[in-house]
Amino acid sequence: MSRDIKVALVTGGNRGIGYELVKLLALKGFKVILASRDPEKGHKAIQQLRKSNLDVSFVSIDVDNRESIRQASATVNERYGRLDVLINNAGVYLDENRKLVAMDPSILEKTMATNFFGVYHVIRSFIPLMEKQGYGRIINVSSEYGAMSEMSHQGVGAYKLSKLALNALTQLLAAENHGDIKINAADPGWVSSDMGGPSAPRTPKQAAESILWLATIGPEGPNGGFFRDEKRIEW
Ligand SMILES: NC(=O)c1ccc[n+]([C@@H]2O[C@H](COP(=O)([O-])OP(=O)(O)OC[C@H]3O[C@@H](n4cnc5c(N)ncnc54)[C@H](OP(=O)(O)O)[C@@H]3O)[C@@H](O)[C@H]2O)c1
């Protein structure tokens, strides 16, 4: 593989916003790794992309499973020896409008496991590949529901807490890192994926387009920011 070709990985790449992110990155000339927890769904998505002549590879990642993350980072290291772009897209929305104290606590735990700890463990496993080459762009797909101002309105508490923590993680990791590794969070808007439902005004493709600029920012680009449509939003 040419040294000029950049390698990108998207978690939850088999459907919704993740699938469109994979497609757009491949169209832009990245060597893209579609990560999916279900190999069958992942390979099906890859077959679909092949119909558009896009050559995407697969790795299995269940972000709730640390061993699967560790194995995936070892595989990417063996296959490519580098990772330039990491998009933490996989996520769940499990609580709708249930009250935090009334819901089964496992809903909060499961939401935090995927949307927060999952991202933490994926970054922890893959960032050494970026540090090795002194370059990396990490995008955490967050939500406006994770903004501090949302915490004074009841409802969707598990999801809001998971994205609030994800936003804070983004800032903390950005403050910790050195060199040309940028880590930012992005809100894709309300999107007509399985998660967002059919009434949402944005398509997954539009959502992916609104996020992807963060994958190609230069050394002067933002680090530790939270964006929607290239505009900074309040944490
Ligand atoms: N849709 C919206 O309106 C909206 C708004 C703001 C933010 N977001 C964020 O955007 C991201 C993508 O959402 P989406 O709308 O595309 O949702 P989606 O259509 O429900 O897709 C979610 C993706 O995440 C994967 N996933 C869930 N749990 C996982 C796990 N433990 N390990 C690995 N993959 C896992 C799913 O895999 P399976 O197919 O195997 O289930 C699927 O590929 C999420 O982080 C979400 O919070 C969405």
> What is the Cα–Cα distance from 131 to 110, expressed in whole angstroms?
30
The structure's pTM equals 0.98
CA of 93 relative to ligand 1 center, distance in Å? 8
> What is the Cα–Cα distance from 138 to 13, expressed in whole angstroms?
15
SS3 state at 189: coil
Examine residue 175 and state whether it is found in any structural domain, yes or no.
yes
CA of 195 relative to ligand 1 center, distance in Å? 7
Site to probe by mutation for ligand 1, drawn from 11, 89, 161, 202 as the one with most ligand atoms within 8 Å of Cβ, is 89
- Number of residues that this document lists for the chain: 235
Q: Name the residue range of residue 109's domain.
A: 7-232
Examine residue 2 and state whether it is found in any structural domain, yes or no.
no
Examine residue 148 and state whether it is found in any structural domain, yes or no.
yes
> What is the Cα–Cα distance from 16 to 33, expressed in whole angstroms?
16
Nearest CA to ligand 1 atom 21: 16
CATH number at 123 reads 3.40.50.720
> Each residue of 130-172: pLDDT tens digit?
999 999 999 999 999 999 999 999 999 999 999 999 999 999 9
The confidence band for 178, taking pLDDT boundaries of 50, 70 and 90, is confident
Is 159 labeled as catalytic in the residue annotation? yes
The confidence band for 2, taking pLDDT boundaries of 50, 70 and 90, is low
Examine residue 1 and state whether it is found in any structural domain, yes or no.
no
Which residues' Cβ are closer than 6 Å to ligand 1? 11-12, 14-18, 37-38, 41, 61-64, 89-93, 114, 118, 141, 143, 187-188, 190-191, 193-196, 200
The confidence band for 1, taking pLDDT boundaries of 50, 70 and 90, is low
DSSP letter at 40 equals: H
Judged against a pLDDT cut of 90, whether residue 18 lies above it is answered with: yes
Q: Which residues have CB under 8 Å from 195's CB, separation 6+?
A: 16, 91, 93
> What is the Cα–Cα distance from 168 to 226, expressed in whole angstroms?
10
Q: Tally the domains of the chain.
A: 1
Per the rule left: phi > 0, alpha: psi between -120 and 50, beta: everything else, 12 is: left
Examine residue 91 and state whether it is found in any structural domain, yes or no.
yes
Measured from the CA of 18, which atom of ligand 1 is nearest? 16
